[in-house]
Chain A
Amino acid sequence: MPLLDTQADDAFVQFERVQKSYDGETLVVKDLNLTLPKGEFLTMLGPSGSGKTTCLMMLAGFESATHGEIRLKGQPINNIPPHKRGIGMVFQNYALFPHMSVAENLSFPLEVRKMGKSEREEKIRRALDMVQMGDFGGRRPAQLSGGQQQRIALARALVFEPELVLMDEPLGALDKQLRETLQFEITRLAHDLGITVVYVTHDQTEALTMSDRVAVFDDGRIQQLAPPDELYEAPQNSFVAQFIGENNTLDGTVSQLSGDKCIVQLDSGEEIDALPVNVSNVGDRTLVSIRPERVEIDPDLGPDSHTLDAEVLEFIYMGDVFRTRLRVAGRDDFIVKTRNRADQVRLSPGQKVKLGWLPQDCRALDP
Chain B
Amino acid sequence: MTDSATGPDQFTGATPDNALRDADRAAGPVLAADGRPLKQSLSRALRAQKLRALGLISPLLLFILITFILPIADMLFRSVENQIVSETLPRTVLALEDWEGEGTPDEVVFRALAADLVIAAEQKLHTRLGSRLNYETTGLSSLFRKTGRDVDEIGEVYLDQFEALDPAWEEPGTWVALMAAPDWIEAQADWAAQAEADRDFDSPEPRFRLDPAAGEAFPVAAPLYQRFAEVIQVENEDSPTEEEPWPIVYQALYEDLIAGHGEGVAGEAGRLIAAARDAVPGFETASAREGFLEIDEDWGNPEVWGTIQSFSDPYTAGYFLSSIDLQLTPNGVEKQPEDQQIYILLFQRTLFMSLVIMGSCVLLGYPIAFLLSNLPLRTSNLLLILVLLPFWTSLLVRTSAWKVLLQQQGVINDVLVWIGLVADNNRLELINNQTGTIIAMTHILLPFMILPLYSVMKTIPPYYVRAAKSLGATPFTAFWRVYFPQSVPGIGAGCILVFILSIGYYITPELVGGTTGTFISNRIAYHISQSLNWGLAAALGSILLAVVLVLYYIYDKIVGIDNVSLG
Contact = CB atoms under 8 A, between A and B. Distances in A.
Contacts of A157: 470-471
A81 B472 contact: no
Given A97-B482, A108-B481, A185-B1, A83 B474 contact: yes
A48 B469 CA distance: 25
Interface stretch (B3-11, B317-325, B421-429): B3-11
A112 B473 contact: yes
Contact of B466 (A86, A95, A147): A95
A87 B6 contact: no
Given A97-B482, A98-B486, A185-B1, A88 B470 contact: yes
A145 B481 contact: no
Contacts of B279: none
Contacts of A83: 469-475, 478
A109 interface: yes
A282 interface: no
A93 B463 contact: yes
A60 B470 contact: yes
Interface string A124-149: 00000000100000010001111110
B485 interface: yes
Contacts of B467: 89, 91, 95, 97
A160 B472 contact: yes
Give the dominant DSSP class at B's interface.
helix
B5 A112 contact: no
Contact of A86 (B472, B475, B478, B481): B472
B461 A82 contact: no
Given A62-B466, A95-B464, A108-B481, A177 B472 contact: no
A166 B469 CA distance: 13
A145 B7 contact: yes
A351 to B, nearest CB: 44
Contact of A144 (B8, B464, B469, B485): B8
Nearest to B464: A95
A178 interface: yes
Contact of B486 (A62, A81, A99, A166): A99
Interface in B444-484: 461, 463-464, 466-475, 477-478, 481-482
Q: Which of B3, B471, B472: most chain A CB closer than 10 A? A: B471
B379 to A, nearest CB: 15
B471 A109 contact: yes
Nearest to B6: A145
A112 B6 contact: no
B471 A108 contact: yes
B563 to A, nearest CB: 10
Interface string A94-112: 0101110000000011001
Contacts of B394: none
B12 interface: no
Contacts of B466: 60, 62, 82, 89, 91, 95
A357 B473 CA distance: 58
Contacts of A147: 3, 6
Contacts of B463: 91, 93, 95
B5 A160 contact: no
A120 to B, nearest CB: 13
Interface string A149-193: 000000011001000001000000000011001000100000000
A147 B469 CA distance: 23
A81 B469 contact: yes
Contacts of A341: none
Interface in B1-39: 1-3, 5-8
A60 B2 CA distance: 31
Contacts, number: 86
B14 to A, nearest CB: 19
B194 to A, nearest CB: 86
A62 B466 CA distance: 7
B472 A109 contact: yes
B486 A178 contact: no
Interface residues of B, number: 26
A109 B477 CA distance: 11
Nearest to B563: A99
Contacts of A139: 8
Given A83-B470, A93-B463, A112-B471, A181 B5 contact: no
B470 A87 contact: yes
B1 A132 contact: yes
B5 A177 contact: yes
A62 B465 CA distance: 10
A60 B463 CA distance: 12
Contacts of A61: 469-470
Contact of B470 (A82, A113, A148, A177): A82
A267 B2 CA distance: 55
B7 A112 contact: no
A294 to B, nearest CB: 36
Given A83-B478, A112-B474, A132-B1, A97 B7 contact: no
Contacts of B470: 60-61, 82-83, 87-89, 157, 166
Contacts of B464: 95, 97
A95 B466 CA distance: 9
Q: Which of B463, B477, B486: most chain A CB closer than 10 A? A: B463
Nearest to B466: A62
Contacts of B486: 98-99
Contact of B468 (A60, A84, A108, A146): A108
A179 to B, nearest CB: 11
Q: Which of B1, B475, B485: most chain A CB closer than 10 A? A: B1
A91 to B, nearest CB: 5
B244 to A, nearest CB: 86
Nearest to B3: A147
Contacts of B5: 177-178
Contacts of B468: 97, 108
B471 A160 contact: yes
A112 B477 contact: yes
B8 A143 contact: yes
Contacts of B482: 97
A156 B471 contact: yes
Contacts of B469: 61-62, 81-83
A148 B472 contact: no
B472 A113 contact: yes
Contacts of B3: 145, 147-148, 178, 181
B1 to A, nearest CB: 5
Contacts of A81: 469, 475
A309 B470 CA distance: 58
Contacts of B6: 145-148, 178
Contacts of A160: 471-472
Contacts of A60: 466, 470
A81 B477 CA distance: 14
A178 to B, nearest CB: 6
Nearest to A82: B469
Contacts of A132: 1-2
A166 B6 CA distance: 26
A315 B87 CA distance: 102
A132 B466 CA distance: 26
Contacts of A156: 471
Nearest to A144: B8
Interface string A43-87: 000000000000000001110000000000000000001111011
30 contacts: A82-B469, A83-B473, A83-B474, A83-B475, A86-B472, A88-B471, A89-B471, A91-B467, A93-B461, A95-B464, A97-B464, A97-B482, A99-B485, A99-B486, A108-B471, A108-B473, A108-B481, A109-B471, A109-B472, A113-B472, A143-B8, A145-B7, A148-B3, A148-B6, A156-B471, A166-B470, A177-B5, A178-B3, A178-B5, A185-B1
Interface of B: 1-3, 5-8, 461, 463-464, 466-475, 477-478, 481-482, 485-486
Given A83-B469, A97-B467, A145-B7, 11 more contacts: A81-B469, A83-B471, A83-B474, A84-B472, A95-B464, A95-B466, A95-B467, A113-B472, A132-B2, A178-B5, A181-B1
Counting from the closest, the 5 A-B pairs by CB-CB distance are A145-B6, A109-B471, A95-B467, A89-B470, A82-B469
